[in-house]
Amino acid sequence: MDLVIEDLYVQYGSSVMAVQGASLVVRDGELVALIGQNGAGKSTLMKAVMGWVSPHAGSIAIGGTSVRDRAFSHLDRGVAFVPEDRGIFSSLTVGENLRLGAVRRRDKKAVAEDIERELERFPVLRRYWGRGASLLSGGEQQQLAIARAMMLNPRLLLLDEPTLGLAPIIVDLIFDVIEQLRAEGVTILLVEQNAVRSIEVADRTYVVQAPGRIIGSGTAAELGASAAVVDYLGFEPTDLGRAAS
């Protein structure tokens, strides 16, 4: 399902311009990354897509409908968001968190099958099914957060820094899962600080620089052709394996 953001401005209070004139498109079935340093405005842009913050100007449409339309429902449209703090319920068990992800669904048999699908994807969640979510490690919590989002069978999945602070082996696992979800046809917008890995897995990448300006976008080769992007990233995206293949 297409996500189209046009000339977006988001301001906090009277002085902090967090997003300034950002335009971004994620086409149906694409995996698009948004990379940039701390405070660049990445999370704010995602929150605006979710309607958690109100833009000052510009537009955001999902599947051709503005998210500000009174009738627009992210849940009904199949838009799932995994926020940076993961948003899981720490007082509930792993199983309860997964079931909550499907709370609005009436197709009980399909829900059971989807839980099984996620337990196959994330074996650690099967092992800790009855354990309190607060007892999970950060990497396990991130897997639970993604699995719970997948219980919505989303058509558009927004992931905000899913590998932040995780051990390298878990970072590899999360990136593998992201590629797997894309192969399953989920449209994905991935916000990351891990520029190299993001550019490697994404169909296209947007580079955002504080305060909230997109300074370049495209494939690794296209990013590598922009002096401003190379200067900001500190490396040549064209050197990446994917670009060479």
Q: List the structure tokens of 12.
A: 């906090």
Q: Which of 27, 28, 39, 167 binds ligand ATP (CB under 6 A)?
A: 39
CA-nearest of 183, 201, 184 to 192 is 201
From the list 22-30, 38-46, 90-98, 150-158, the region that binds ligand ATP by CB under 6 A is 38-46
Q: Sort strands 65-66 and 57-62 into parallel, antiparallel or unpaired.
A: antiparallel
Q: Does 18 bind ligand ATP (CB under 6 A)?
A: yes
| Nearer to ligand ATP among residue 163 and residue 187 (C-beta) | 163
Query: Angle of helix 108-121 relative to helix 138-150, nearest 10 degrees?
Result: 150
Q: Which of 31, 42, 67, 224 binds ligand ATP (CB under 6 A)?
A: 42
Residues of span 138-197 touching ligand ATP by CB under 6 A: 193
| Nearer to ligand ATP among residue 50 and residue 243 (C-beta) | 50
Helix (DSSP H) and strand (DSSP E) numbers for the chain = 11, 10
Q: Does 97 bind ligand ATP (CB under 6 A)?
A: no
Contacts 24+ apart (CB under 8 A), 109-116: 111/151, 114/150, 114/151, 114/153, 115/151
Q: Does 75 bind ligand ATP (CB under 6 A)?
A: no
Residues of the shown chain interacting with ligand ATP in the complex, contacts defined by CB under 6 A:
12, 16, 18, 36, 38-44, 84, 193
